[in-house]
Structure 1
Amino acid sequence: MEIAQRSLTVATRGRGTTEITRQVAEAVAEAGLHTGLCHAFCHHTSASLTLTENADPSVRADLEQFMARTVPDGDPHYQHDMEGPDDMPAHIRSVLTGSGLTVPITRGRLGLGTWQGLYLWEHRSAGHRRSITVTCLGSREG
């Protein structure tokens, strides 16, 4: 069993998704594993990782609109607002969507479905630099 780990830094433009499929796939290729698991972990409490459709951007726009309706900025019920009206909503959105993803490594590549992509989902209004750790675990033999 082999393990490889790589850190990624992703700059976001503010609320919305940034595709990271290529960067994670590069980490898998560098690991040189034939079969195993690739785990990506976001080191932030106001951004998350998601696996969703990568063919039609309206899917991600609809997800963002759903979150805006479900977890609105500035809700007076939130106590935590130290960094502004998007502070607590960003934390809630992150908890709902998750900080980690695990994808199979199959024949040396990410084992994604035809229309799947990996995304960093920024939940804050302003852009940030986000850190992600990609850990690959598996075997070099098929």
Structure 2
Amino acid sequence: MSNARMTQAAFDSEVEAQVTLLTLIVALHLLVYAETRWWLSPSQAVDTMRRWHMPDSSAVDVTRRVMLSSRALPLAMRLAECHSCLVDPAGMQATFTDHIHIDRGADRYLLIREACKAALLRQRDGM
């Protein structure tokens, strides 16, 4: 594999890891809001994510994780305003298969993931 291809593959892997982590954090915010009508504080989100999801530290560095975490709540709030299905407690609970894992094929997961991917791409492109 050429050096350019290896660099692109590493970049794609990092972007994929960032999209996945941001999606999980946003989904977590939405799940808690759907059930309680309260948004998680930043410290609660960090603590819960630490317990719930152990990200691959080699794929997303600490600085990037902090940036992703800081973007998650505003993105979750915008999604909640635009998509009422994301604030339905039963629907959001169904998105999580066993209170630990998220169903990556669920419509709500895919909606959240696309929004997270678009937000990261806008940021990367400087928009």
TM tier, smaller: under 0.3
Higher relative contact order (CA 8 A, sep 6+): 1
Structure with the bigger percentage of helix: 2
Structure with the bigger percentage of strand: 1
TM-score between the two structures when normalised by the length of structure 2: 0.26
TM-score between the two structures when normalised by the length of structure 1: 0.24
Larger radius of gyration between Structure 1 and Structure 2: 1
